[in-house]
Chain A
């Protein structure tokens, strides 16, 4: 079964549940993340038909994850982590102005994930995010705060999250991703959406 077919099947199943709750919503918005390298993988957002999973719209972006390719390597306490573990993820929130101490701005929150490997590590605090402030600005001038300033390809590195660029040409990849989400889903705040991200 191809990845896309599998996603279509999953989406159809998930959509069936969603459709039961909200018949008016005929589409479902999903992501997949194709791990290729830490600095250059591909994040794709899809708008799919709720009933048969067919793809109505899609947009793909360069994205990064981790500092190495070991999905069991947690960064929680040594600041070196591998890329996001493979599998299906719930989305459990989206905020435009998230105000964490280190991650801010437009973010999507992912469920925790257990890796497949010898340490059995639980990967936690997982997001799709970029480097911007809670007010969606950059701190590339004065003061310069690197974690809120996207100024090089090295910014694709993460401690395990998926990172997407907030850089020229504008609108940035983050802005385009967010625009697609707003147009196709529009959900904000805390929620629980099953199997909305597939990582492989």
Chain B
């Protein structure tokens, strides 16, 4: 009898346990998203292979997009008149930007007017400070008609507004001169064929970051130190968004910008989410609160240009890649992906982009260690599976770079 009771008690207890576990499971499912929705942080496993990354890319004078929304590029790559290159921007921004409908691509070109051997010092080649060495020049490629037109010499750093207006900088003088800062005005054309209108009153170290709706975000460089970020509401109508800061990305609706404020070693860095309309900060996050999942070390830096899809923001860092979840009023870490930068790259990652609307596929490129001539490679990653395919090494100047525009608001 006692035995039977004990048995019944055990059975009842077991049922309670099962019910409790079921209730806990249901609660967990209610409180937390499914595991598949939470991409894990960790080390990216990288293997050699090729993967066709969605999007439009430019490598040298090849414009391609076999897996893109542009029907003219799905049929095959197109040849640009010149190789895309923008040494004054480097990897800090796009070398080619698509118009809002994707048909036009404004791309940067660079023409050396004097042959320079960069392994040697300037004066051994008869180059003195102030000598003209090169001229940047924007070109606009029409992917539908496979035609091109050239903008005025001294132009680069382009961004398209949702209505088709085009902003860029125009150097005064047009040429890059040895050892002298490249000073430029910001100009805007109402369309690709409209006349340019200066938005700045005097040339300075300006670069266009992108449109935030009708407002234009500009990086305003400073000799030897951190740049400022300005907002232009119209010609001559500028104000400070943040001092000593860099724009990582602009929200898709154009109302906010995510910034990195401060310089490592100079009191630390924090992420700052700001309203573009009035420059107020709505959220911030100290970078030192983030750590590399493989080494445990706090992050020292993050860098743009970011890729921003819905609430997901992808940036590069000294750990590798960081995905942030950014809402209208908050910044949180979603995922940190460790990449062995010293082994796989020459030290940093360029232009990481979400390649699909689900923000699952990530594409980036890097200069890679190689015997002989400098080389680059493209990487295509599944950030849920923590795996990447590394494409073949290509000559450094021919690396496939994404064609994108940081602008937000109505695009």
Contact = CB atoms under 8 A, between A and B. Distances in A.
* Chains A and B bind each other: yes
Contact of B348 (A82, A146, A154, A196): A82
15 contacts: A73-B348, A77-B246, A78-B92, A80-B302, A80-B348, A87-B121, A88-B119, A90-B122, A111-B179, A112-B178, A113-B118, A117-B346, A119-B367, A127-B224, A194-B122
A25 interface: no
A121 B301 contact: no
B304 A78 contact: yes
A108 interface: no
Contacts of B399: 118
Given A157-B265, A194-B124, A73 B221 contact: no
Contact of A70 (B118, B221, B264, B346): B346
Given A100-B223, A124-B182, A195-B121, 13 more contacts: A67-B301, A67-B318, A68-B341, A76-B221, A77-B92, A77-B227, A78-B246, A88-B119, A102-B222, A118-B376, A119-B86, A121-B91, A127-B224
B131 to A, nearest CB: 11
A92 interface: yes
Contacts of B226: 79, 102, 159
Interface of B: 85-93, 110, 116, 118-124, 128-129, 176, 178-179, 181-182, 205, 207, 209, 219, 221-227, 244-246, 260, 263-267, 300-305, 318, 341-342, 345-348, 350, 365, 367, 374, 376, 396-397, 399, 401
A22 to B, nearest CB: 16
Q: With a 10 A CB-CB cut-off, give which of B93, B179, B342, B401 has the most chain A CB atoms.
A: B179
Contacts of B122: 90, 111-112, 194
B350 A118 contact: yes
Interface of A: 67-74, 76-80, 82-83, 85, 87-90, 92, 100-103, 111-122, 124-125, 127, 129, 146-147, 152, 154-159, 161, 192-196
Contact of A118 (B128, B245, B347, B397): B397
**Top-5 shortest CB links A-B:** A102-B225, A121-B90, A70-B347, A69-B347, A157-B265
B208 to A, nearest CB: 10
Contact of A194 (B123, B178, B318): B123
Given A73-B91, A147-B225, A192-B128, A117 B367 contact: yes
Contact of B245 (A79, A121, A157): A79
Contact of B178 (A72, A82, A111, A154): A111
Identify whether the interface residues of A are mostly helix, strand, loop, or mixed.
loop
Given A70-B348, A111-B179, A155-B265, A116 B396 contact: yes
Given A80-B301, A111-B122, A155-B265, A125 B223 contact: yes
Contacts of B300: 67, 157
B120 A87 contact: yes
A71 B246 contact: no
A159 B224 contact: yes
A132 B244 CA distance: 18
Given A159-B226, A192-B129, A72 B346 contact: yes
B225 A103 contact: yes
Nearest to B351: A119
B85 to A, nearest CB: 6
Contacts of B267: 146
B396 A118 contact: yes
A115 B348 CA distance: 14
Contacts of B365: 118
